[in-house]
């Protein structure tokens, strides 16, 4: 564990007068950890979730034993086999992981109502208002990690910091089963020795532009003025300047208060295969749909986000005929957006995201009879599948369209790059 001392609270209060103190919880090699827990015979073995020993498909997650051989998520299984010929390949059980994720979220809500999930295996928690009940941020982070371990037998890492950027960076520094604290009065000193790759938005190409300038650490970046960075990187310059100093004012926004709900993922290796991107988008859409339905809200606008390997970011949106929370309805609207973007450019993609905005409580919507009947069937199917997955967890029941999509579009099982740490 790194820096196990008490964290000094930040100076500025959040809304309502409570102190802003952020904990970022990140499950360690989530999919692989679940599989090892469920089958203790796998403990100590190089477990690879996704792909196959014949070299087909793509890696979803790798245990830390497999990572010693250089295996990581989003890697082609053929390459994983070459690096780790004794790897134990397992088929992903996505609905089972989703059921475990729900149990983890329930633990989070015991400590604070301000929980912002990022994916199945990580979330931000604002615990500033919980200190009188549970203790300081470090104590709360330890309690959450301990509860997850005792009740679910799964490892998690945590970062405790004054804001979201710092908390997320911290949680990634001491994996697995780590706890890293960023004291308010030592933010720049904490960031100074870290690689510039830790700064959000500094990808391989940006890093390649910085290193010839002698900029290899965040400390080197801190020595540049805002004007120098804006001259070199345009609008991104101020972004780099702020993060190099640990400045981030974004609040933790629970789903029920959000203006939009989205999921996005950054690939450890750029993806240029259109079929793989469609498969990714399907998984992101299903996750967004589940969150909408869990909070009994619908959205009117569907959004697509892509970031290319040169860090150029584009977005597309489409307004639905009726507010939706159905995964199929969202999918029908968002996949044409992706197809349109892919027709414009075959450039490799670094980040893919999908979201829904214009959120509201579902109300009575006038529509044609046959549309209403079709939407009712789709909504009922979503509710039934959500209920089965929540109760049973196992992937015994699947949507027929998902099976068809897997056959048509996937070269391998789905990957969740949040699980690559």
How do residues 125-179 score in pLDDT, each as one tens digit? 999 889 889 999 999 999 999 999 999 999 999 999 999 999 999 999 999 999 9
User: Please, what is the Cα angle at 358 between 356 and 364, to 5 degrees?
Assistant: 110
Q: Which residues contact 252 (CB under 8 A, 6 or more apart)?
A: 22, 114, 115, 116, 124, 125, 126, 164
- Would you place residue 412 in the very low, low, confident or very high pLDDT band (cuts 50, 70, 90)? very low
Q: Is 295 helix (H, G, I), strand (E, B) or coil?
A: coil
Read off the tokens for 56: 């087909």
Closest residue by Cα to residue 302 from 359, 344, 350: 359
Closest CA to 229 of 215, 247, 249: 215
Q: What is the pLDDT of residue 312?
A: 83
pLDDT of residue 410: 39
pTM over 0.75: no
Q: Is 391 exposed, middle or buried (0-12, 13-18, 19+ CB in 10 A)?
A: exposed
> Residue 360: what pLDDT?
83
Residue 25 three-state SS? strand
Angstrom distance (rounded) from CA 334 to CA 278:
10
Asked if residues 21 and 127 have their Cβ atoms less than 8 Å apart, the reply is yes
Please state whether the peptide bond connecting residue 21 to the residue before it is cis, i.e. omega within 30 degrees of 0.
Answer: no
Instruction: With a cut of 50, say whether residue 395 has pLDDT above it.
Output: no
Burial tier of 230 (Cβ tally within 10 Å: 0-12, 13-18, 19+): middle
pLDDT at 379: 59
The CA-CA-CA angle for residues 194, 181, 202, to 5°, reads 30
- DSSP letters for 104-144: HHHHHHHH-S-EEEEETTEEEEE-GGGHHHH-SHHHHHHHH
Phi, psi of 181 (to 5 degrees): -115, 135
| CA proximity to 87, closest of 124, 116, 113, 62 | 62
pLDDT reported for residue 391: 53
386, 392, 417, 361: which is closest to 286 by C-alpha? Answer: 386
Domains in the chain and their CATH numbers? 1-182 (3.30.70.270), 192-244 (1.10.150.20), 255-420 (3.30.1490.100)
- Parallel, antiparallel or unpaired: strands 88-90 and 47-49: parallel
Which secondary structure element, helix H or strand E, spans residue 35, and what is its range?
helix 30-38
Per-residue pLDDT for 386 more than 80?
no
SS3 state of residue 48: strand
Query: What average pLDDT does this structure show over 79-88?
Result: 94
Mean pLDDT for the chain overall? 82
Instruction: Render pLDDT for 267-309 as a digit per residue (tens, 0 to 9).
Output: 867 888 888 899 889 989 988 998 888 878 889 999 999 988 8
Whole-number Cα distances in Å, 318 to 26, 337, 338: 32, 8, 11
Cβ contacts of 7 within 8 Å, gap of 6 or more: 21, 136, 137, 138, 160, 161, 181, 182, 183, 184
From the list 35, 65, 100, 122, the catalytic residue is 122
Residue 65 annotated to the active site: no
Nearest partner of 210 among 235, 233, 226, judged by Cα: 233
Q: What is the pLDDT of residues 205-238, one digit of tens each?
A: 788 888 887 889 999 999 989 998 888 888 788 8
What does the pLDDT read at residue 369? Answer: 47
Q: Do residues 200 and 351 make contact, with C-beta atoms less than 8 angstroms apart?
A: no
**pLDDT tier, 393 (very low <50, low <70, confident <90, very high otherwise):** very low
The full 3-state SS of 232-268, as one line of letters, equals: HHCHHHHHHHHHHCCCCCCCCCCHHHCCEEEEEEEEE
Q: Is the pLDDT of residue 378 over 80?
A: no
């Amino acid at each position: 564990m790194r820096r196990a001392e008490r964290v000094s609270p930040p100076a500025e209060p959040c809304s309502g007068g409570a102190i802003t103190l952020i904990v970022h919880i990140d499950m360690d090699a989530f999919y692989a950890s679940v599989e090892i827990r469920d089958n203790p015979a796998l403990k100590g073995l190089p477990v690879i979730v996704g792909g196959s020993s014949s070299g087909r498909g793509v890696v979803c997650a790798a245990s830390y034993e497999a990572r010693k051989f250089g295996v990581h998520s989003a890697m082609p299984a053929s390459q994983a086999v070459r690096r780790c010929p004794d790897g134990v390949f397992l088929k992903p059980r996505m609905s089972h992981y989703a059921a475990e994720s729900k149990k983890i979220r329930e633990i989070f809500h015991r400590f604070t109502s301000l929980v912002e999930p990022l994916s199945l295996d990580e979330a931000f928690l604002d615990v500033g208002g919980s200190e009188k009940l549970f203790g300081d941020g470090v104590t709360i982070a330890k309690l959450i990690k301990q509860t997850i371990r005792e009740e679910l037998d799964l490892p998690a890492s945590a970062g405790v910091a004054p804001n979201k950027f710092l908390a997320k960076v911290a949680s990634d520094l001491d994996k697995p089963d780590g706890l890293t604290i960023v004291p308010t009065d030592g933010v720049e000193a904490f960031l100074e020795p870290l690689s510039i790759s830790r700064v959000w938005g500094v990808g391989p190409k940006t890093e390649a532009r910085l290193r010839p300038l002698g900029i290899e650490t965040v400390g080197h970046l801190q020595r540049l003025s805002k004007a120098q960075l804006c001259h070199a990187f345009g609008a991104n310059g101020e972004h780099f300047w702020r993060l190099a100093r640990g400045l981030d004012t974004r609040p933790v926004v629970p789903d029920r208060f959000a203006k939009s709900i989205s999921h996005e993922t950054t690939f450890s290796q750029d993806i240029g295969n259109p079929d793989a991107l469609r498969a990714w988008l399907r998984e992101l859409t299903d996750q967004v749909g589940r969150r909408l339905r869990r909070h009994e809200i619908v959205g009117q606008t569907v959004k697509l986000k892509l970031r290319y390997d040169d860090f150029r970011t584009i977005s597309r949106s489409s307004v639905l005929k009726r507010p939706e929370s159905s995964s199929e309805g969202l999918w029908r609207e968002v996949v044409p957006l992706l197809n349109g973007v892919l027709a414009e450019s075959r450039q490799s993609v670094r980040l893919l995201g999908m979201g829904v905005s214009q959120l509201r409580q579902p109300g009575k919507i006038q529509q044609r009879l046959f549309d209403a009947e079709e939407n009712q069937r789709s909504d009922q199917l979503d509710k039934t599948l959500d209920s089965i997955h929540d109760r049973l967890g196992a992937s015994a029941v699947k949507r027929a369209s998902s099976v068809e999509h897997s056959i048509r579009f996937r070269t391998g099982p789905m990957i969740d790059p949040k699980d690559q740490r």
